Amino acid sequence: MKTMRVNFCNLLAGLVLAVLALPGLADEQAVAWSSLSEPQQKILARHESDWEAMPLERQLRLVRGSERWLSMSSEERQEARRRFQRWQELDDNEQARLRQNYERFRELSPEEQRRLMQNYRRFKRLEPDVQRDLRKRWEDLTPQQRLQVRERMRRLTPKQRRQLRDRVRLDRKGPLGPIGN
């Protein structure tokens, strides 16, 4: 019985080591240009000359991106082009800030991510002038006031959040209410 357990532990340790070694092996196996579909090659044509020298991680990102692109409708592609154009127009500091925000978002729990996305979608459904008013009010707050608002919002129950949303719909001044009280 004890020998069986030792053999099982050795087998398990060997499997763990083999799995840990796999990423190192994968680094050596590049994605062959010829393995890409014709539509993918067309999309990635500007990378063909440096494809073989490209790190595997970058190749995989480009392959996944080409697959996403090919699965998009023409409207989705148009929107993606528009977003990319906006991204390119940003200065380096703004791009860095957005990347940092994205990383912070990815570190949140799935529940927090879902809640933020719901809030964002609700905000985007507001009239543009209401969005502008809310942004302006937020930007006019001091960092301390913003922190207080965030803390108050975190403590709300789902029922209180619904009531607040209803109030926002009725009161164009927004949900911030008196700050610092």
Q: Which amino acid is at 99?
A: R
Structural Rg of the chain based on CA atoms: 25
Q: Given pLDDT bands bounded at 50, 70 and 90, which one contains residue 157?
A: confident
Global pTM reads 0.52
Euclidean distance between CA atoms 111 and 116, whole angstroms: 9
pLDDT over 80 at 2, yes or no = no
Give residue 152's pLDDT: 87
pLDDT over 50 at 26, yes or no = no
Q: Is the CB of residue 43 less than 8 Å from the CB of residue 68?
A: no
Give residue 160's pLDDT: 86
Average pLDDT (15-37) is 64
